Chain A
Amino acid sequence: MLFTSPEFILLVVCTFVLYYLPILVRWQVPILIAASLYFYAYGQANLLWLLLLSVSINIVSSYLVVYGKPDRHRLYAVLGVVFNLLILVFFKYGPLLGRTFATPNSDIGSLLVNLPLPIGISFFTFQGISLVVDTYKYRHVEQYRSLIARNLLKHAQTVFFFKGFFPQLVSGPIVKANFFLPQIGLKSIQAVRWDYCFRTLVLGYFLKMVVADNLKDHTMLMTYPYFEAYSSLTLLVLLFGYSMQIFADFAGYSLIALGLAALFGYQFPINFNFPYIATSFADFWRRWHISLSSFLREYLYIPLGGNRHGTARTYANLLITMVLGGLWHGAAWSYAVWGFAHGSALALERFVGDTFGKSMFKRVRLLRGMLVFGYVTLAWLLFRLPDFTHVLAYLRAILSNGSKPHETLAISFIILYSLPVVGYHFYHLWQQTPARESIAEHRFSTRTAFIYGFLLFLIITNSGSEGAFIYFQF
């Protein structure tokens, strides 16, 4: 069920009405769980059992980490993480492993290759890991410990809600247990931040339906071998358009998730903070898919040793983290290459900073920003064309198709639909205020009201053809 479909809007409205009905206030969390189950089953009813299995593993392991025998707490935590990872590896990477290592006609090979990809598995598995690790880490902290109910049924309800809450179930943001669990409680309709909800939802739907969905229909031209017919300029603009599309698609999705959660009285962490104005790769990863990068930093990079064991080890940790982060996106080696490209850039940037000093590059911020944007955009090619030979063909075509005529109309539309993303970033630069302020805390002036009214007008009249969110496949 897409966030943009009428069925989803109906589900949200019905859930919202029931959720705040005075006689059902006690059942708020079960109502959201029921809505989440319906939401998941609507898209993939045959794999609902897997979500339930994953939730059950996390209910038991997190409970035992707090209430099991003290000398086994670590064991339960390790088992919880391992089971979570096993589910992820089996379902997400089974087909890749099957294609790579098993003989095609063998039973095991056929089983692995034909495994279905459960929607949202990467997201709800990571949240499960966060729950088990946070519970283990903070099991002696009374404030956190009190969130793990002694009553197993109540705890099961909490875990189910944490992992399954529908706005973030299939594509995040990845919410950490220590951030979300303290928020669970009774909510009142008077406490709903209507202005915030309205703005995040309108902006999110605008980015998704008007910008990303329209760009999607144009970046379709990046299909092998058809792209070889286009000029170098056309290919570069297409790549630029895809970069804008992937941002609008995922940032749009994340904003919708934030707005929906806020309608029910919950807060998610912001997932995008104007990433295309980043002036370094480290800065980019502090702004792009923040919930994933902070998860990787906290649960992978730092446990690997982070930057605490010398320069060489730091570079290696960066590479390992980014390659695994790349593979998290999809079961194809091109995602690992994408992760490696980012890991290398981060390591190189660190090396240059360590060797020549950071102050040397402070004066060339604009140049650095352009370099980071160009590199990041080029790397998106690995997302658009998962076959590595097609990526190389695309790059060859950019270099050799200079004399071919341009696709003027496609170029014009891509630039036009990219303008809101560019404007969005420049507006933020112009404001020179953090994202949270610009979205949540500014007063709703008449000018702002007019802008949001215009965005709503464009959502109604100028949406592109309906398409799944790019990150649904991850």
Chain B
Amino acid sequence: MIWKSILTTVLLLIVYTLFIRYSGITISRTAQTTAQRNIVKAEEFLYENSTHCDTLIVGSSMSERLQEQQLTPHCYNLSFSGLSSLDGLYLIQAGGRVPNVLFVEINSIARESPSSLDLTAVADPTSRTLKQWLPFLRQKYQPVGVLKALLRDWQHGSSDLIAPESAYRLDTALQQKMVHQLHGTMNLPLSVAATDSSFKKAHAFLSQLQRRGTTVILFEMPINAQLENLLAPRTIRAYADRYFPAPQYQHIVLPADSFRTSDGIHLLYDESLRYTSYLHAQYAKLAQTVPKRS
């Protein structure tokens, strides 16, 4: 009787695989949670040709809000919520791709990624092979997520829904509470050993990419003005300058204007558009001085 169950499972898997492969329906934006969105993005980057872009962005949830198509036309945003730029760099290395231009967010380089959001399993060779042959193993094709995506497309069409940040209900009292909480944590000294180790790792990744022809551009995401010059961000800037000195590495410094955030560190939707425009303009200036890779 156990065999009956196993046979049922195998049949369901076959039918589901046929549906994924041959139904002709475009299955996208299936993630149900932040953790899953990270994995889907990482899997798409590693397994799908459509993500092979000249320009990449690596960073945290702060950079995740950047509008990559506005930055350059052929750009893929490899920023992950709850994780750091190092996770994106790790995936670039695992994927064996060398982008022409790489934007690296410095805010999160020293952040320790929680093990619950670990992406190393995605890049594991065995797992990669299995997931390429058996698509039902990919997070993107979880039945509940697919059902959600189909229902959403059926209800709203395939166009983008209202951008999440523009619909954000800004609660000033709560925002102040969050800023206050961040004020406490961001004023604490960073662990020298951990910060050094993270920057060393980033340096190893980036110098290797640079040697292979990538233009590395380091940038900082703007945060609430009250937090911008606390101990932690100042330390990170100092480390970034020390490990990635100009002109060997390109830097885009923060503009003088302030930007509004939803919780102290994440830009509101309109503000993320404004900051992307700023990055685009700065990049255009840099591009005039940096020779293009043939």
Interaction A to B: yes
Given contacts A405-B169, A416-B144, A462-B142, contact A453 B136 (CB under 8 A): no
A225 with B143: CB separation less than 8 A: no
Q: Which residue of B lies closest to A445 (CB)?
A: B1
Contact B12 A454 (CB under 8 A): yes
Which of A214, A461, A466 touches B16 (beta carbons < 8 Å)? A461
The answer to the question of A138 belonging to the interface, with a C-beta cut-off of 8 Å to chain B, is no
- Bound-state CA distance A228–B175 (Å) is 10
Q: Is the CB of B2 within 8 A of A462?
A: no
Is B116 on the interface with A (CB-CB < 8 A)? yes
CA distance A151 to B7 in the complex (A): 50
Contact with B5, one of A220, A226, A453, A461 (Cβ below 8 angstroms) = A453
**How many Å from the CB of B27 to the closest CB on chain A?**
13
Interface residues of B in 1-43 (CB under 8 A from A): 1-2, 4-9, 11-13, 16, 32-36, 39
A205: shortest Cβ distance to chain B, in Å? Answer: 13
Bound Cα distance from A449 to B117, whole angstroms = 35
By beta carbon, the residue of chain A nearest B145 is A462
Counting CB contacts under 8 A, is B257 at the interface?
A: no
A298 within 8 A of B: no
| A residues near B8, Cβ cutoff 8 Å | 449-450, 452-454, 456-457
Contact with B along A217-260 (1 / 0, CB 8 A): 11010000110110000000000000000000000000000000
Give the B interface residue count (CB, 8 A): 34
Q: Which of A194, A409, A458 meets B143, CB within 8 Å?
A: A458
Which chain A positions have C-beta within 8 A of B2? 194-195, 198, 444, 449
Of the candidates B35, B117, B136, B171, the one whose C-beta lies within 8 Å of that of A460 is: B136
Mark each residue of chain A from 411 to 448: 1 if its CB lies under 8 Å from any CB of chain B, else 0: 00100110000000000000000000000000010101
B103 an interface residue at 8 Å Cβ cutoff? no
| B5 pairs with A456, CB closer than 8 A | yes
Q: Answer whether residue A137 sits at the interface, using C-beta atoms and an 8 A cutoff.
A: no
For the A-B complex, the count of residue pairs with Cβ-Cβ distances under 8 Å equals 96
Give Cα distance in the complex from A52 to B235, angstroms: 45
Enumerate chain B residues within 8 angstroms of A446, measured Cβ to Cβ. 4
**Contact among B4, B143, B171 for A462, CB-based, below 8 A:** B143
Chain B neighbourhood of A460, CB < 8 A = 9, 13, 136-137
The answer to whether A132 has its CB under 8 Å from any CB of chain B is no
Q: Are A461 and B143 in contact (CB under 8 A)?
A: yes
Bound-state Cα–Cα, A449 to B33, Å: 31
CA distance in complex: A409, B164 (Å): 12
A contact residues around B13 at 8 Å (CB)? 457, 460-461
Instruction: Report B-chain residues with C-beta under 8 Å of the C-beta of A452.
Output: 5, 8
B174 interface residue per 8 A CB criterion: yes
What is the CA–CA distance of A456 and B137 in the complex, to the nearest angstrom? 13
Residues 54-88 of B, flagged 1 when their CB comes within 8 A of A and 0 if not, give 00000000000000000000000000000000000
Q: What is the CA–CA distance of A404 and B12 in the complex, to the nearest angstrom?
A: 41
Whether a CB of chain A sits under 8 angstroms from the CB of B282 is no
User: A405 CA to B168 CA in the complex, in Å?
Assistant: 10
Q: Are the CB atoms of A457 and B36 closer together than 8 Å?
A: no
Q: In the complex, which residues 187-222 of chain A have their Cβ closer than 8 Å to any Cβ of chain B?
A: 194-195, 198, 202, 214, 217-218, 220
Are the CB atoms of A453 and B1 closer together than 8 Å?
no
From A217, A453, A464, B6 is in contact (CB under 8 Å) with A453
In the bound complex, residues from chain A placing their C-beta under 8 Å from that of B6 are: 453, 456
Which residues of chain B are near A198, meaning CB under 8 Å?
Answer: 2, 5
B1 touches A228 (CB 8 A): no
Contact partners of B11 in chain A: CB under 8 A: 453
- B5 contacts A217, C-beta separation under 8 Å: no
Contact check, A453 vs B116: say whether CB atoms are below 8 A apart.
Answer: no
Task: Please indicate the chain B residues that have their CB under 8 angstroms from the CB of A453 in the complex.
Answer: 4-9, 11-12
CA distance A220 to B37 in the complex (A): 15
Which residues of A sit under 8 angstroms from B9, Cβ to Cβ? 453-454, 456-457, 460
Shortest Cβ gap from A399 to chain B (Å):
16
A467 and B181 CA atoms in complex are apart in Å by 27
Assess whether B286 is interfacial by the CB under 8 Å rule. Answer: no
Docked pose: A405 CA to B148 CA in angstroms: 21
Residues of B contacting A311 in the complex (Cβ-Cβ under 8 angstroms): none
Q: Which residues of B contact A413 (CB under 8 A)?
A: 32-33, 144
CA A58 to CA B148, docked complex, whole Å = 54
**A465: interface (CB < 8 Å):** yes
Distance between Cα atoms of A460 and B141 in the complex (Å):
11
- CB of A465 within 8 A of CB of B36, answer yes
Decide: A217 and B7 in contact? CB cutoff 8 A.
no
Tell me the smallest distance from the CB of B70 to a CB of chain A, in Å.
26
Question: Does B212 sit at the interface, judged by CB under 8 A?
Answer: no
Compute how far the CA of A446 lies from the CA of B4 in the bound complex, rounded to whole angstroms: 7
Check if B16 sits within 8 Å of A217, measured CB to CB: no
Establish whether residues A229 and B174, one from each chain, have CB atoms under 8 Å apart when the complex forms.
yes
Contact of B169 among A195, A229, A454 (CB under 8 A): A229
Question: Complex Cα distance A458/B136, Å?
Answer: 10
User: Which residues from B are CB-within-8-Å of A417?
Assistant: 144
Residues of A within 8 A of B234 (CB): none
The reply to whether B169 and A462 form a contact with Cβ atoms under 8 Å apart is no
Q: Within the assembled complex, what's the spacing in Å between the Cα atoms of A324 and B35? A: 36
Q: Please state if A457 and B144 are interface contacts (CB–CB under 8 Å).
A: no
CB distance from A461 to the nearest CB of B (A): 5
Q: How far is the CA of A225 from the CA of B177 in the complex (A)?
A: 8
What are the interface flags for B129-150 relative to A under an 8 Å C-beta threshold, 1 for contact and 0 otherwise? 0000000110001111000100
New A-B contacts (7) at CB < 8 Å, excluding given A198-B5, A461-B143, A466-B116 = A198-B2, A214-B33, A449-B2, A449-B4, A460-B13, A462-B143, A465-B35
Listed from nearest, the 3 A-B pairs whose CB atoms lie closest are A453-B8, A449-B4, A217-B33
Instruction: Provide a sorted-by-A list of 22 A–B residue pairs whose CB atoms are within 8 angstroms.
Output: A195-B2, A202-B5, A214-B32, A217-B33, A218-B33, A229-B174, A405-B169, A413-B32, A417-B144, A444-B1, A444-B2, A446-B4, A448-B1, A454-B9, A457-B9, A461-B137, A461-B142, A464-B36, A465-B35, A465-B39, A465-B117, A467-B116
